[in-house]
C-alpha cells in the first residue's frame, strides 16, 4: 500500500479502537501506528482522541532516526521532546505520541505492520491489581490462543515514553530468543495492552479478544479461580491444521 492508503487504514483502526461502548480507551488515551514499508511509519499524534481522529491526527516518522536514540544514553523530558521532533519526516505534522519509540520497536523487532495500544478497562482491572499480569500467563480457551498466541510479552510498570521503550526492547528480544517468533500481545503492568498485527484487522481482533480474555478472568477469579488449559492441549490447538487455517484467514482480513 502507498503511504496515503496505509494512513486511511490506520484511521479506520484508530476509530474502531475508540468506539465508546467497547471501553478500550477514552479521551486522549491509547495510540496506534502503521508501517509504510519504506523506512517510515505513521503514529498517532499526542493528545488526539482515537474515537474522532482523522488523517490530520497522525505524524510521519523516520524509523531509523527514532531507533537510534534508544541505542544512546537515557533522555530526559526535554531531550525526548526534541528527539520526537527530530524523528518527524514532515515537521509540519503534529507532535507525535511519547510512545513513538515503542511503536518503532514493535515494527523493527517484531515485523508488525499495524499496532494498537489501549487502556482497556477489563484488562487494566487485572494489570492494576496486586496480581499484575500473572493471570494472563496461562491459556484459558482455544480462540484466545488462535487470536492472541499462546504466550504474551510482559513488562512491569515503567515511566511511559523513552524508558518504557528500552524495557520493551529488552523484553521483545528475550521473547524472541525463548519462543522463536514475535508476540501478538504485550502487557504493560499498571498501564495497558499493545497488539501487534500483520493487518489492521488483526491488530483490532487481538484487542477485542484480549478484552474478552480479561473479562473471563475477572469473572472466574471470584468463583473458584481460573482453570488453565493443560500445556498438551495448548500445543494441540497451536498445531491443528483447521486452527492454523482460521488463524491465517483472520490475519489476512482487511476492514
Instruction: Check residue 255 and give its pLDDT.
Output: 61
What was the pLDDT predicted at 20? 95
Q: Summarize the confidence of residues 186-206 as an average pLDDT.
A: 97
- Poorest-confidence range of 45-49, 101-105, 118-122, 241-245? 241-245
Tell me the residue ranges of DSSP E strands in 128-249.
153-155, 185-188, 192-197
Cell of 36: 509504510
Confidence of residue 253 (pLDDT cuts 50, 70, 90): low
Which residues 6+ apart lie within 8 Å of 208 measured at CB? 22
CA dihedral 213, 215, 221, 223 (to 10 degrees): -120
Q: What is the pLDDT of residues 81-96, one digit of tens each?
A: 999 999 999 999 999 9
Q: List the CATH number of the domain containing 164.
A: 3.40.225.10
Per the structure, the count of domains in the chain is 1
What grid cell was written down for 5?
Answer: 492508503
Q: What is the pLDDT of residue 89?
A: 97
Cell of 13: 483502526
Q: Among 99, 97, 152, which residue's Cα sits nearest to residue 126?
A: 152
pLDDT digits (tens, 9 = 90+) for 122-179: 999 999 999 999 999 999 999 999 999 999 999 999 999 999 999 999 999 999 999 9
Q: What is the pLDDT of residue 183?
A: 97
| pLDDT digit string, tens, across residues 90-114 | 999 999 999 999 999 999 999 999 9
Q: What is the mean pLDDT of residues 58-84?
A: 96
DSSP per residue, 37-89: SSSEEEEEBTT--GGG--GGGEEEEEHHHHHHHHTSS---HHHHHHHHHHHBS
The two most distant CA atoms of the chain are separated, in Å, by 55
For residues 51 and 15, is the Cβ–Cβ distance under 8 A?
A: yes
Question: Residue 65 sits in which domain range?
Answer: 3-252
Confidence of residue 236 (pLDDT cuts 50, 70, 90): confident
Rounded Cα distance between 114 and 80, Å, is 23
Mean pLDDT computed over 194-198 = 97
Q: With a cut of 70, say whether residue 243 has pLDDT above it.
A: no
CA distance 236 to 84: 44
How confident is the model at residue 44, as a pLDDT?
98
- At residue 251 the predicted structure's pLDDT band, cuts being 50, 70 and 90, is low
pTM for this predicted structure: 0.92
Residues 242, 146: Cα–Cα separation, whole Å: 11
pLDDT of residue 229: 82
Contacting residues for 175 by C-beta, under 8 A, at least 6 apart: 151, 153, 182, 183
The pLDDT, as a whole number, for residue 242 is 53
Give the separation between CA 241 and CA 56, rounded to whole angstroms.
Answer: 43
Q: Cα-flanking dihedrals φ and ψ of residue 187, to 5°?
A: -95, 135
| CA atoms of 242 and 248, how far apart (whole Å) | 10
CA distances from 52 to 15, 26, 34, 45 (A): 6, 11, 18, 13
Amino acid at each position: 500500500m502507498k503511504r496515503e492508503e496505509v494512513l486511511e487504514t490506520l484511521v479506520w483502526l484508530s476509530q474502531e479502537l475508540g468506539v465508546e461502548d467497547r471501553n478500550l480507551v477514552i479521551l486522549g488515551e491509547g495510540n496506534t501506528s502503521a508501517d509504510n514499508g519504506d523506512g517510515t511509519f505513521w503514529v498517532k499524534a499526542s493528545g488526539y482522541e482515537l474515537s474522532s481522529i482523522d488523517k490530520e491526527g497522525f505524524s510521519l516518522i523516520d524509523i531509523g532516526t527514532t531507533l537510534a536514540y534508544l541505542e544512546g544514553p537515557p533522555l530526559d523530558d526535554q531531550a525526548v521532546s526534541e528527539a520526537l521532533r527530530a524523528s518527524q519526516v514532515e515537521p509540519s505534522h503534529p507532535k507525535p505520541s511519547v510512545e513513538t519509540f515503542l511503536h518503532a520497536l514493535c515494527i523493527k523487532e517484531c515485523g508488525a505492520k499495524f499496532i494498537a495500544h489501549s487502556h482497556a478497562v477489563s484488562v487494566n482491572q487485572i494489570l492494576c491489581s496486586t496480581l499484575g499480569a500473572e493471570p494472563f500467563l496461562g491459556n484459558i480457551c482455544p480462540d484466545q490462543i488462535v487470536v492472541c498466541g499462546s504466550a504474551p510479552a510482559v513488562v512491569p510498570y515503567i515511566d511511559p515514553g523513552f524508558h518504557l521503550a528500552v524495557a520493551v526492547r529488552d523484553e521483545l528480544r528475550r521473547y524472541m530468543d525463548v519462543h522463536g517468533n514475535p508476540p501478538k500481545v504485550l502487557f504493560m503492568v499498571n498501564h495497558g495492552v499493545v497488539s501487534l498485527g500483520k493487518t489492521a484487522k488483526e491488530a483490532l481482533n487481538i484487542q477485542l479478544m484480549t478484552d474478552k480474555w480479561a473479562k473471563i478472568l475477572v469473572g472466574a477469579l471470584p468463583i473458584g479461580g481460573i482453570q488453565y488449559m493443560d500445556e498438551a492441549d495448548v500445543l494441540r490447538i497451536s498445531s491443528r491444521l483447521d486452527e492454523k487455517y482460521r488463524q491465517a484467514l483472520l490475519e489476512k482480513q482487511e476492514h
